[in-house]
Amino acid sequence: VVMKYLVSKGVDAGRLSAQGYGESRPLVPNDSPENKAKNRRIEITVKQ
């Protein structure tokens, strides 16, 4: 959704990449609902 928005605003899709890391690279231990929420994320990179 975020990438589609950026493209709709004129960002070249070739400059964007997105990757979900929640299960493979958690930020914090998955030992509470709050921590599980922190780990559910997508990282978006915009290249120059």
Tell me the pLDDT of the chain (48 aa) as tens digits. Answer: 889 999 999 999 999 998 887 778 899 999 999 999 999 888 899 998
List phi, psi (to 5°) of 33. -60, -35
- Tell me, what's the pLDDT at 21? 79
Domain map (residue ranges) of the chain: 2-46
- Tell me, what's the pLDDT at 27? 92
Among 41, 37, 40, 39, smallest CA distance to 26 is for 39
| pTM, entire model | 0.59
Which residue is associated with the tokens 């070739």? 14
Cα four-point dihedral sign 30, 32, 33, 35 = negative
CA distances, 18 to each of 25, 31, 32, 34 (Å):
14, 26, 26, 23
- Tell me, what's the pLDDT at 45? 92
- Tell me, what's the pLDDT at 26? 92
